[in-house]
Amino acid sequence: MRAYVLMDYQSGNILANMKGDERMEPASITKLMTGYVIYKAVKSGKIRLDDKVTISEKAWKTVGSKMFVKLGTQVSAEELLMGMVVQSGNDATVALAEHVAGSEETFTKLMNQEAERLGLKNSHFTNAAGLPNPNHYMSGRDIAALTRVIMQEFPEHYARYSVRSFKYNNIDQPNRNRLLFTDPTVDGVKTGHTESAGYCLVSAAKRNDTRLIGVVLGAAKEKERFSASQALLNYGFSFFESRKLHDANVPIVTGRIWKGQESELPLGLTFPLYVTVPKGQAPQVSTTTAVQPKILAPARKDQPFGEIVVKLGDQEVSKTPLVALKDVSESGWFGRLIDTILMFFYYLFN
């Protein structure tokens, strides 16, 4: 294989890595980003799952794996999503891209905008289905990070990735992810293959309280991508353990907020905070918090005002933003005046 990455879902820590930041052809793993853009469109109300999508000639003619939709027919967005996720249908993928953005070209711009927003530094897309192009690439780390975001933000859509087969047009196609049939702890995610990309697989599994995401890129044979992915997951579950440090939406520290209708701002986390460490080393984990020295109203819920640092012994493991757990509005002019005076003396002596 050309590259692999093993990520802990809860913490985002990388547990194993070979060439995980190199840009490589992702083939149909591209459809994870395609799916992410579609899921956001559903959430925002831009499209509905019961929308009827007319199959264009371009979608119908798209080469590669197919859902076998017919030219000019109307297919629900839900069925097309199943065809894209389970059957890896390129025809279904292009039809959905056109439905969301008017054209695949415009949809691809949305994919690249989301990649930039999510901080996927080694990802760029030229099409929605993952067809080969020199400027179409992802890294193993980016693939793992995107998979984690889909799990966090869209668990209802992520459930499709564990579906073992889907029937459309009287054609029943099995999910190409063979691990779904051989390992009961695996619940996703996506295969990919072209002659130039080799055989690729992003897999995810949960055993007890630990959930892992594995990425294998560029395997020489189909069997190798499954055996390598299984070995990667087994390694992670055998040698690492996850530990929850803090729940989401629970105050961890309180910051002084000035010129607001309240004087204290509770700070916490958007998602639960976990750390993944080699088995037996959990007692060496410690955390420290740092809060922005001057917080001024107004404050918005989920706005960052500090960070929590996790260490294993003396080694820094992760940094996570501390965010406001509620809105605090600006006070009236008299309250702001009083706080301006108090702030002067506070920072003069502190």
Q: Tell how strand 295-296 and strand 253-258 pair up.
A: parallel
Rounded to the nearest integer, the mean pLDDT of the chain is: 95
Residue-level pLDDT at 322: 97
Residue-level pLDDT at 350: 78
For the record, the structure tokens of 349 come out as 């002596």
Task: Give the list of residues 6+ apart from residue 311 with CB closer than 8 angstroms, or none.
Answer: 285, 286, 287, 288, 317
Q: What would the pLDDT profile of 108-129 be if each residue is shown by its tens digit?
A: 999 999 999 999 999 999 999 9
Helix (H, G, I), strand (E, B), or coil: what is residue 254? strand
Please give the domain boundaries of the chain with CATH numbers for all domains: 3-242 (3.40.710.10), 247-349 (2.60.410.10)
- Catalytic annotation present for 229: no
Nearest to 310 by CA among 81, 53, 50, 12: 12
Contact 42, 175 (CB under 8 A): no
- Catalytic annotation present for 43: no
Percentages of the chain per state (helix, strand, coil), in multiples of 5: 35, 35, 35
Select which of 11, 28, 139, 331 is catalytic. Answer: 28
Residue-level pLDDT at 94: 98
Select which of 11, 56, 88, 123 is catalytic. Answer: 88
Helices (H), the chain: 31-44, 57-61, 77-85, 90-101, 104-117, 140-153, 155-158, 179-182, 222-239, 333-349
Q: What angle do CA 238, 188, 25 make, to 5 degrees?
A: 100
CA 98 – CA 9 distance, rounded (Å):
32
In the predicted model, is pLDDT for residue 339 greater than 90?
Answer: no
Select which of 31, 66, 190, 259 is catalytic. Answer: 31
Q: What would the pLDDT profile of 227-240 be if each residue is shown by its tens digit?
A: 999 999 999 999 99
Residue-level pLDDT at 344: 84
Confidence of residue 347 (pLDDT cuts 50, 70, 90): confident
Nearest to 250 by CA among 228, 273, 267: 267
Confidence of residue 11 (pLDDT cuts 50, 70, 90): confident
Confidence of residue 69 (pLDDT cuts 50, 70, 90): very high
Nearest to 25 by CA among 8, 2, 42, 46: 2
Is residue 340 packed enough to be buried (19+ CB in 10 Å), middle (13-18) or exposed (0-12)? exposed
38 CB-side CA count, 13 A: 29
Confidence of residue 346 (pLDDT cuts 50, 70, 90): confident
Q: Tell how strand 52-54 and strand 14-18 pair up.
A: unpaired
Residue 328 has φ and ψ, to the nearest 5°, of: -130, 115
Contact 93, 63 (CB under 8 A): no
Cis? peptide before 285, omega within 30° of 0:
no
Q: What burial letters (b/e) apply to 39-68, b meaning 16+ CB within 10 Å?
A: bebbeeeebeeebebebbeebbebebbbbb
The strand order across the sheet containing 295-296 reads 285-291, 304-312, 315-324, 264-268, 253-258, 295-296
- Catalytic annotation present for 31: yes
Residue-level pLDDT at 252: 97
Confidence of residue 208 (pLDDT cuts 50, 70, 90): confident
> Could you count the other beta carbons within 10 Å of the beta carbon of residue 300?
11
Residue-level pLDDT at 326: 96
Nearest to 257 by CA among 290, 289, 305: 305
